[in-house]
């Protein structure tokens, strides 16, 4: 019996050792990639264009860059803000993939914690932002700044709010290295990029690009924008949209979105109120939902929360004299299916055109 248990123990150690070793080598989500992110940030601060390495800690990158910059305008939101050719003179894009409301709050917290609030904040508010189950935020690396900003929004003193940054939760990301699902991702990553690439130290993977090269490959620009949004064939975009509809799950909107969350609605108003009280000019940008998907939403009883969200956002913004740009409803802003690079992202120039649309 003892020999059997010993063998089982050795097999377990071997299996988990193999899993952890492969995960540490590949690390497709760059859990240990802080060195790479800090190198990226420094080059961006120096005004250089950096080739995007794919997955990286977006929150840490934005935090590091903002600590060194004091732009007049900061643009916050999901990947929808990353590709637009913004026309402000002095700005920084703080794009966080799949941003939820708490991610937006954390992004504002990054600014306020530094005591360096910009003159203008543009917030791209996606249609899922007021969903009940939209989570506390995707970007754990800046979650503490969300807690800090919440305290500032709700009347706590700055001294009290800053304690939230000292009490940041323990980082449990190391557990991913024992994950079999992460092991599968690691094997795919090694197969795609090769073992030599995976063994190269993170900072050595960072490389610069000139403007000509950046037009053809995904790069991060010093102002935070990303280059080279590849346009899918229209048939693929339509196919992806129809697949979402037929599957009954509209990505971040889920299987249904009937009512807005009272808690998230209160959070949104608190954020707008706090920013305006601080003397910041606030603008809200509502990116259009892909027309085929929006038309389905209008016919469905399962997604009435989308229209309710836009109505609520416009009501709150009117209350605080905040300009709302764009609309989830493509019929209002004139955005068509042909104006998209994929089912989620509008072509950069068309996105800027939509941002400049204000509903009379």
- Whether 264 is covered by a domain: the verdict is yes
17 is in which domain, residue-wise? 1-29+177-204
d(CA 109, CA 151): 10
- pLDDT attached to residue 32: 64
- Whether 214 is covered by a domain: the verdict is no
Considering the domain architecture, whether residues 343 and 250 belong to the same structural domain is answered as yes
CA–CA distances in Å: residue 98 to residues 21, 77, 135, 328, 358:
30, 8, 11, 16, 24
The percent of residues above 70 in pLDDT, for the chain, comes to: 88
Strands 91-95 and 219-220: unpaired
Considering the domain architecture, whether residues 94 and 182 belong to the same structural domain is answered as no
133 sits in which H/E element = none
Min mean pLDDT across 171-175, 261-265, 286-290 is at: 171-175
- pLDDT attached to residue 292: 98
Domain count, the chain: 2
For residue 330, count CB atoms less than 10 angstroms from its CB and return exposed for 0-12, middle for 13-18, buried for 19 or more. buried
Confidence of residue 325 (pLDDT cuts 50, 70, 90): very high
Nearest to 41 by CA among 24, 22, 66: 66
Considering the domain architecture, whether residues 63 and 152 belong to the same structural domain is answered as yes
**Using one digit for the tens of pLDDT, what is the confidence trace for 241-276?**
999 999 999 998 999 999 999 999 999 999 999 999
- Whether 16 is covered by a domain: the verdict is yes
| pTM for the structure as a whole | 0.84
Instruction: Report, as an integer, the average pLDDT of 80-84.
Output: 95
Considering the domain architecture, whether residues 183 and 102 belong to the same structural domain is answered as no
Structure tokens at 305: 């929360």
Structure tokens at 87: 């026309």
User: Does the pLDDT at position 196 exceed 90?
Assistant: no
What's 76's domain CATH number?
A: 3.40.50
**Using one digit for the tens of pLDDT, what is the confidence trace for 298-320?**
999 999 999 999 999 999 999 99
CA–CA distances in Å: residue 306 to residues 63, 80, 240:
31, 17, 20
- Whether 47 is covered by a domain: the verdict is no
Structure tokens at 294: 């929006």
Structure tokens at 265: 């609605």
Considering the domain architecture, whether residues 195 and 248 belong to the same structural domain is answered as no
HEC assignment per residue over 302-329: CCHHHHHHHHHHHHHHHHCCCEEEECCC
Considering the domain architecture, whether residues 237 and 189 belong to the same structural domain is answered as no
Confidence of residue 183 (pLDDT cuts 50, 70, 90): confident
- pLDDT attached to residue 21: 81
**Using one digit for the tens of pLDDT, what is the confidence trace for 138-162?**
687 888 999 999 999 999 999 999 9
Considering the domain architecture, whether residues 126 and 258 belong to the same structural domain is answered as yes
- Whether 222 is covered by a domain: the verdict is no
User: Does the pLDDT at position 172 exceed 60?
Assistant: no
């Amino acid at each position: 019996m003892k020999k059997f248990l010993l063998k089982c123990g050795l097999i377990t150690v071997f299996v988990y050792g193999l899993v952890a070793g492969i995960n540490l080598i590949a690390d497709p989500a760059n859990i240990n990639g802080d060195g790479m992110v800090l190198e990226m940030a420094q080059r961006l601060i120096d005004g250089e264009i950096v080739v995007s390495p794919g997955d990286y800690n977006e929150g840490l990158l934005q935090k590091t860059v903002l600590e060194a910059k004091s732009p007049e305008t900061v643009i916050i939101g999901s990947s929808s803000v990353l590709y637009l050719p913004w026309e402000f003179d002095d700005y920084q894009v703080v794009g966080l993939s799949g941003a939820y409301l708490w991610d937006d709050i954390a992004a504002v917290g990054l600014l306020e914690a530094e005591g360096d609030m910009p003159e203008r904040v543009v917030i791209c508010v996606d249609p899922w932002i007021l969903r009940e189950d939209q989570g506390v935020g995707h970007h754990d690396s800046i979650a503490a700044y969300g807690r800090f900003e919440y305290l500032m929004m709700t009347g706590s003193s700055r001294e009290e709010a800053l304690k939230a940054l000292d009490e940041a939760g323990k980082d449990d990301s190391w557990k991913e290295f024992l994950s079999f699902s992460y092991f599968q991702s690691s094997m795919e990553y090694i197969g795609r990029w090769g073992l030599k690439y995976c063994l190269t130290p993170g900072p050595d993977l960072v490389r610069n690009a000139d403007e000509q090269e950046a037009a053809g490959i995904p790069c991060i620009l010093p102002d935070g924008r990303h280059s080279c949004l590849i346009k899918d064939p229209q048939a693929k975009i339509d196919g992806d949209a129809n697949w979402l509809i037929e599957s009954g799950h509209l990505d971040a909107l889920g299987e249904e979105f009937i009512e807005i969350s009272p808690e998230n609605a209160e959070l949104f108003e608190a954020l707008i109120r706090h920013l305006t009280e601080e003397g910041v000019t606030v603008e809200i940008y509502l990116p259009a939902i892909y027309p085929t998907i929006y038309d389905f939403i209008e016919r469905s009883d399962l997604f009435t929360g989308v229209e309710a969200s836009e109505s609520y956002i416009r009501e709150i913004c009117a209350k605080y004299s905040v300009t709302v740009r764009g609309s989830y409803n493509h019929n209002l802003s004139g955005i068509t299916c042909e104006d998209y690079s994929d089912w989620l992202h509008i072509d950069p120039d068309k996105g800027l055109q939509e941002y400049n649309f204000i509903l009379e």
